[in-house]
Copies of this chain bind each other. A is one copy, B any other.
């Protein structure tokens, strides 16, 4: 059994959403599992001195156009969130809380959160929305709501952000296959070839 692929992302990243709709099937085709790892892009951007994409002059306008066009190219539904970008602290903390209890439920929650943000224009940075989405997958909403503010859950996400930086992550999505990093939804063809050939 080959090592799982790592899929590092931020829930506010449109290109991460696009990869989230493809990566599990792509990996399964090549006998691989995928570890999903939400982090906070803001923490990485402090290290690299990067601005959120849509706040860069000219590039921001292009990005808004490219998010939707790339989604059409990949055959994935997409609607630009009216509030963007989002600070997805609660969204990511909830993911790890769920993951440490029920890995499959966490995966379903992650899909639900991405789709809520990028097809239904829901504000997934809102802890009430996060709890609702998790509860819809079968989680105990009251326990989750209470957990979100605890130091333990805060530290859990902080550790993952530190781990992402240590792996050289500077943007999302960031997919790692056997130590080889791939940044961006536009690297899906290279990811596929890498899985097919074991490296090129």
Chain A interfacial positions (CB closer than 8 Å to B): 44, 47-51, 56-59, 61-62, 65-66, 69-70, 72-73, 165, 168-171, 181, 183-184, 186-187, 189-190, 193, 200
Contact = CB atoms under 8 A, between A and B. Distances in A.
A interface: dominant SS: helix
A121 to B, nearest CB: 23
Contacts of A47: 57-58
A73 B186 contact: no
The copy count of this chain in the complex is: 2
Given A72-B200, A168-B58, A186 B186 contact: yes
A98 to B, nearest CB: 29
A36 B56 CA distance: 26
A37 to B, nearest CB: 16
Among A58, A62, A193: residue with most chain B CB under 10 A: A58
Nearest to A189: B189
A62 B190 contact: no
Nearest to A181: B62
B56 A190 contact: no
A118 to B, nearest CB: 19
A72 to B, nearest CB: 5
A14 to B, nearest CB: 15
A58 B200 contact: no
Contacts of A66: 183
